[in-house]
Amino acid sequence: MGTDKETQSRSNDIMEKSTYTIRPCCLEDLEGVINVNEKELPEDYPYFFYKSILDSFPESFLVAINEDGHIIGYIMWRVERLPALNSLNLIRKGHLVSIAVSKDYRRKGIAWELLVKSMPEIRRRKISEYVLEVRVSNYGAINLYKRLGYKIDSIKKKYYRDGENAYFMIKTVNNPL
Ligand code: ACO
Ligand code: ZN
């Protein structure tokens, strides 16, 4: 039941929603992170999975919040230790576990900023490459990763529960710490 004044202030709210802040995730944010994940991606995880990533890799777990303080995006990484080819040495990879941005806030550079701010953080863990899987049909995300220097390494057949293939994408860390 809007007076003109209310209508005006509501449309101002909508305009202002394009401003956002990026900061490290905290425990109280996990509910909002899970909400975004469940709306934007078919791959859902149990609460303890988010919690364990937050406990182990907090500095590269970031959230984007709007002016009302609502979570509108997140990114989380973990480090995996894998045997190097032809050697017993373990190499450390930064694995992009998940990134998503709410539909109303897309194409504003939020995912770009989440990636650019979190990659140096996970890199400090002495990784030699950044890796990720993405659905072969996910043109937008693939384009985003390519623009950041990720290259398609291989295809993981039927990687997703619905049978879709994944591209395995890699970006080498030029000067491992
Ligand atoms: N189509 C083409 N290019 C795109 C698209 C798109 N839909 N989205 C992003 N890009 C590229 C563009 O080059 C864009 O720059 P431009 O807008 O100047 O052209 C650049 O990436 C930066 O885009 P952002 O605005 O930073 O991306 P956004 O905040 O919209 O988020 C994301 C992109 C995360 C892929 C979003 O669309 C999303 O949440 N999708 C659903 C969830 C998802 O698919 N997540 C990735 C799964 S894979 C994984 O998590 C490892
Ligand atoms: Zn993965």
Give the tens place of pLDDT for each residue, 111-125.
999 999 999 999 999
pLDDT tier, 8 (very low <50, low <70, confident <90, very high otherwise) = very low
In a domain, 3, yes or no: no
Cα(105) to centroid of ligand 1, in Å?
10
Nearest CA to ligand 1 atom 33: 111
Q: Give me 126's structure tokens.
A: 């002495």
- Kindly state if the Cβ of 72 falls inside 6 Å of ligand 1: no
Do the domain assignments include residue 100?
yes
The more confident residue out of 91 and 106 is 106
How far apart, in Å, are the Cα atoms of 142 and each of 4, 122, 169? Answer: 44, 20, 9
- 155 in a domain, yes or no? yes
- 7 within domain boundaries: no
User: Which residue has better confidence, 82 or 104?
Assistant: 104
Which of 88 and 98 is assigned the larger pLDDT? Answer: 98
Q: Give nearest CA residue, ligand 1 atom 44.
A: 141
From the alpha carbon of 73, which atom of ligand 1 is closest?
Answer: 39
Rounded distance from Cα 85 to ligand 1 centre (Å): 32
Q: How many domains does the chain have?
A: 1
Residue 120: which CATH number? 3.40.630.30
| Residue 140 Cβ contacting ligand 1 at under 6 Å | yes
Dump pLDDT digits (tens) for 31-47. 999 999 999 999 999 99
Average predicted confidence (pLDDT) for the chain: 91
Task: Report if residue 58 sits inside a domain.
Answer: yes
Give the tens place of pLDDT for each residue, 119-147: 999 999 999 999 999 999 999 999 999 99
For atom 2 of ligand 1, the residue with the nearest CA is 140
Report if residue 2 sits inside a domain: no
CA 89 to ligand 2 center in whole angstroms: 22
| pLDDT given for residue 135 in this prediction | 98
- pLDDT for the residue numbered 50: 98
Mean pLDDT along residues 135-164: 98
In a domain, 143, yes or no: yes
Residue 91 placed within a domain: yes
Query: What integer pLDDT is reported at residue 86 of this predicted model?
Result: 79
pLDDT at 2: 44
Q: Domain range spanning residue 80?
A: 20-172
The predicted structure's pLDDT at residue 114? 98
Q: Which residues of 87-116 are buried (b: 16+ CB within 10 A; e: fewer)?
A: eeeebbbbbbbbbbbbeebeebebbebbbe
CA atoms within 13 A on the CB side of 157: 0
- From the CA of 136, the nearest ligand is 1
